[in-house]
Amino acid sequence: MSTPVILFFSTMLTGLFFVVGVTIGWTANDFLYNMLAKDDVMHPEMYDDDGMVINEELYSVRFVADEEDDYYDD
């Protein structure tokens, strides 16, 4: 075979293997991530001393920023 034909087929096969490898790797990564991920992970503040989830009503605090006009005396 001539050199251009060999270069053409080697380039095409390299590209094909690259695309197939990326596709298989992406699919395997997505599958393993979904299989190993835990969906029920909560913040540590949501557990009591025994490690059980707190099921009672929780309070929240919201801070309101003061207006800048209060700091300046005109």
Q: What is the pLDDT of residue 66?
A: 65
Q: How confident is the model at residue 72 (pLDDT cuts 50, 70, 90)?
A: low
CA distances from 65 to 6, 17, 34, 70, 73 (A): 71, 58, 41, 11, 18
- The stretch 62-68 carries a mean pLDDT of 73
Q: What is the pLDDT of residue 65?
A: 73
pLDDT tens-place string over residues 7-59: 999 999 999 999 999 999 999 999 998 888 776 778 888 888 888 888 888 78
In one-letter notation, the amino acid at residue 3 is T
